Every structure is written in structure tokens, then in C-alpha cells.
């Protein structure tokens, strides 16, 4: 007999509360090989990430990859790990906490969930449920949609709610690749960097996906291209002043091209030899930006003839990021808020005042 998660002590007439679920990819609990192995096992077993026959992929994953890759990835994580933990988790928590204390939506409950690892999406949803959220906006920190990222969030959210007795209204922010506030935030971060470091050829590096996903209908490639084009336009750049590439490819299968590391070798040899790197697809700095781009690829470029290499940090928990996310939240919940009764608004204000949240 199915068992559904309910609320036996629910008080009828309790006003609905808005819940915001902020989601990022996730991180190992530590940079040690066992923790990295657990994280990779969960991440790489997701059929959204690796579309392959399950039995064949299980043999490859458990027979080869999880025996070899954790040690290599552990070394990479150690290069970026801080005394407070993983940069991705630190920045994601800061974003969530700042939104909870400054959002303009009254006493909206805000929780952080990771697609892989902890805190989990299921745990974050139950946190919102316990706080009385009847309308939930899911906000993945993925500007460009891909089945490998945004759709994985959808899978986990809906999987968790299959066990709930009272399912809330749910909305998803599936992408914001061409959002004007997002484009302006990225362009401003680059412009400010150039004011202090000097303007160089701009290379946009996005995380790659297998090319067959594009051919099967994934819009990610097109959205990355659009983001880069709009940012370049906002900066007033000519075509020869910027370029785009894709990083983090693994295995022998063809991924989206050009590959960032190969393009850097080409530039180091024949120019442009002075570069500014930016990764607009990453809302927060993480392994792929801090170790792969800012450390490993920087060394690759400079050791092979490049002259200058500068990485522009992700938006992280900056004021620009928070304004962007507030804007997205307001836009996607505007009609929910407009239907709120005066009694509910009064209760929300009282809750916000009691919690000490700034108004």
C-alpha cells in the first residue's frame, strides 16, 4: 500500500506561503577520494547526464571510471578547496541566504538544494513544505537550458513530490540565457575587469555536452551562442574581438566544438596571445572555472606561447547576481502574488517582522 507524506496536524485556513527552491549542481562533501567517488557515482549514473544503455554504462562506470577518476578529480578539488569547504557550496549558500533576507516577496521561504550530493533537492523541498509553502518556484542556477542540467532538476523535484499527499503548485525557471538583466550583469563584470586589468580578446567558455545531444534537439548550444552574442553586443565588440568555445569534454565521443583547451593552444601559437576568459554558464565559481579554467588552462596557454591570460570570476553572490535572481523570481511569481488576499499579506508581513528580515 503506498505511503504518502502528509500533514495530520494541518490547520485549515492557514494562508499559502511562497517557496523558492534555489538549485545548483552539487559538490563532494570533501576533496578526499572516497567522497569524490560517491559524488561521481551519483552524478555519472544520472541518465540525463550520460545517455547510454544502462547495463553497458554500469559496467564502464563501475568497472573502470570509478576506479580511476576519483583520485584524479580529488587532486583537482584540492586545488580549489577552502577552509570553509567547496566554493560552489559556499557561494550557493550565500546566494540563498541573501535572497531569504532581502527578497521583496514578503516572507517567502527560500531553500537550497543540490542535484547531486548535499543538501539534496528532496531535503530542500521538505524544508519548504514544513514552512508552509503551497506555491514553489524552482530556480536552477543554470542560465542556459540543457537536458543534462535543468531537466535533471525537474526529474528530482517531480520524483520527490510523487510521495507527497498534498502536491503544491510548482513552476520552473528553465533558462534565462537572453534575459536583459543577466546579459547586463555579465557585460558589466567584464567591463569592470577591463577597467582594472586592460581590455583583451574575449573568450567565452561554456561547459560542453556531447554533440549528439544537440542533434537530438537539446537547445543548449544555441542558447550559449545567443548569450555570448548579446554580451558582446552590450560591450560593443566586433566579431574579431571575441570568440566562443566549450570545455570539460570527457571520453572519445565528439562534444560541442571548438574545445577550449585546443583553441587555447591554437591562440598561444598564432594569436591572439592576450586573452580575457569568462564562463557565463556558471552562476558560481566551481571546479570547472577555478581549477580547469583559472589554473590548468591558464598554465596550458602561457606555457605554450601565450602572453597574458585573465579569468573573470562568476557572478557568485554579488549584488548583480542577487538583483538578477530577484528579478526572475518576481517575474515568475507576479500573478501568484497578485492573487494574495489582504489577510495573507498581513500575515506575511508579520512573519517577516518577527524573523527580523530587512524590509
Per-residue model confidence as pLDDT tens digits over 97-107:
999 987 566 78
Give all strands (DSSP E) within the chain, no chain letters.
Answer: 17-26, 109-116, 133-140, 169-172, 201-207, 242-247, 274-278, 308-312
In a domain, residue 334? The reply is: yes
Q: Can you tell me the mean pLDDT for 230-255?
A: 96
Model pLDDT for residues 5-35, shown as the tens digit of each residue = 877 776 676 678 999 999 999 999 999 999 9
Query: Quick one: pLDDT at residue 193?
Result: 97
Q: How many CB atoms lie within 10 A of CB 285?
A: 22
Same domain, 245 and 307: yes
For a pLDDT cut of 90, what percent of the chain falls above it? 85
> Domain range for residue 22?
17-30+81-175+319-355
Same domain, 237 and 187: yes
Helices assigned H by DSSP within 10-80: 33-45, 54-60, 66-80
Same domain, 127 and 194: no
Q: Can you tell me the mean pLDDT for 217-244?
A: 98
Alpha-carbon distance of 275 to 242, in angstroms, equals: 9
Q: Is the pLDDT of residue 356 over 80?
A: no
The predicted model scores a pTM of 0.91
DSSP state of 293: I
Among the listed ranges 123-132, 141-150, 230-239, 336-345, which one has the minimum average pLDDT value?
Answer: 336-345
Same domain, 22 and 157: yes
Same domain, 100 and 206: no
In a domain, residue 40? The reply is: no
Same domain, 271 and 152: no
In a domain, residue 257? The reply is: yes
Our count of domains for the chain comes to 2
In a domain, residue 272? The reply is: yes
Any idea which residue has 559538490 for its cell? 27
In a domain, residue 67? The reply is: no
Query: Quick one: pLDDT at residue 353?
Result: 52
Geometric angle at alpha carbon 32, from 28 and 34, rounded to 5°: 80
Same domain, 135 and 282: no
Model pLDDT for residues 272-302, shown as the tens digit of each residue = 999 999 999 999 999 999 999 999 999 999 9
Choose between 102 and 331: higher pLDDT.
331
Query: Quick one: pLDDT at residue 341?
Result: 47
Cα–Cα separations (whole angstroms), residue 251 to 219, 343, 356: 22, 57, 51
Same domain, 184 and 169: no
Q: Is the pLDDT of residue 359 over 50?
A: no
Query: Quick one: pLDDT at residue 3?
Result: 81
Q: Are 181 and 319 in contact (CB under 8 A)?
A: no
Q: What is the mean pLDDT of the chain?
A: 92
Burial class (CB in 10 A: 0-12, 13-18, 19+), 22: buried
CATH number at residue 262: 3.40.50.1400
Q: Can you tell me the mean pLDDT for 212-220?
A: 98
Amino acid at each position: 500500500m503506498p505511503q504518502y507524506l502528509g500533514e495530520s496536524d494541518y490547520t485549515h485556513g492557514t494562508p499559502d506561503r511562497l517557496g523558492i527552491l534555489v538549485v545548483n549542481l552539487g559538490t563532494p562533501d570533501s576533496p578526499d577520494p572516497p567522497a569524490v567517488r560517491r559524488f561521481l557515482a551519483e552524478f555519472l549514473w544520472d541518465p540525463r547526464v550520460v545517455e547510454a544503455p544502462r547495463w553497458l554504462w554500469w559496467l564502464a562506470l563501475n568497472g573502470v571510471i570509478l576506479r580511476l577518476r576519483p583520485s584524479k578529480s580529488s587532486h583537482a578539488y584540492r586545488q580549489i578547496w577552502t577552509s570553509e569547504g567547496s566554493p560552489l557550496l559556499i557561494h550557493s549558500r550565500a546566494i540563498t541566504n541573501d535572497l531569504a533576507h532581502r527578497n521583496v516577496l514578503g516572507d517567502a521561504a527560500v531553500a537550497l538544494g543540490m542535484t547531486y550530493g548535499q543538501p539534496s533537492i528532496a531535503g530542500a523541498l521538505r524544508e519548504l513544505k514544513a514552512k508552509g509553502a503551497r506555491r514553489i518556484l524552482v530556480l536552477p542556477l543554470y542560465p542556459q537550458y540543457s537536458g543534462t542540467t535543468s531537466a535533471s532538476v525537474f526529474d528530482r523535484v517531480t520524483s520527490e513530490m510523487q510521495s507527497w499527499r498534498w502536491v503544491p503548485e510548482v513552476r520552473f525557471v528553465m533558462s534565462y540565457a537572453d534575459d536583459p538583466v543577466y546579459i547586463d550583469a555579465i557585460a558589466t563584470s567584464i567591463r569592470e575587469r577591463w577597467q582594472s586589468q586592460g581590455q583583451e580578446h574575449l573568450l567565452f567558455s561554456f561547459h560542453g555536452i556531447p554533440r549528439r545531444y544537440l542533434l537530438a534537439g537539446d537547445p543548449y548550444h544555441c542558447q550559449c551562442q545567443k548569450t555570448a552574442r548579446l554580451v558582446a553586443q552590450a560591450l560593443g565588440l566586433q566579431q574579431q574581438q571575441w570568440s566562443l568555445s566549450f570545455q570539460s569534454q570527457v571520453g572519445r565521443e565528439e562534444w560541442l566544438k571548438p574545445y577550449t583547451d585546443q583553441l587555447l593552444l591554437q591562440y598561444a601559437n598564432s594569436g591572439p596571445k592576450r586573452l580575457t576568459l569568462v564562463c557565463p554558464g556558471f552562476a558560481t565559481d566551481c571546479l570547472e572555472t577555478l581549477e580547469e579554467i583559472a589554473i590548468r588552462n591558464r598554465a596550458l596557454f602561457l606555457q605554450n606561447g601565450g602572453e597574458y591570460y585573465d579569468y573573470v570570476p562568476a557572478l557568485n553572490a554579488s549584488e548583480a547576481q542577487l538583483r538578477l535572481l530577484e528579478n526572475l523570481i518576481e517575474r515568475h511569481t507576479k500573478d501568484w502574488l497578485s492573487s494574495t488576499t489582504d489577510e495573507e499579506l498581513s500575515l506575511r508581513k508579520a512573519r517577516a517582522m518577527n524573523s527580523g528580515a530587512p524590509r
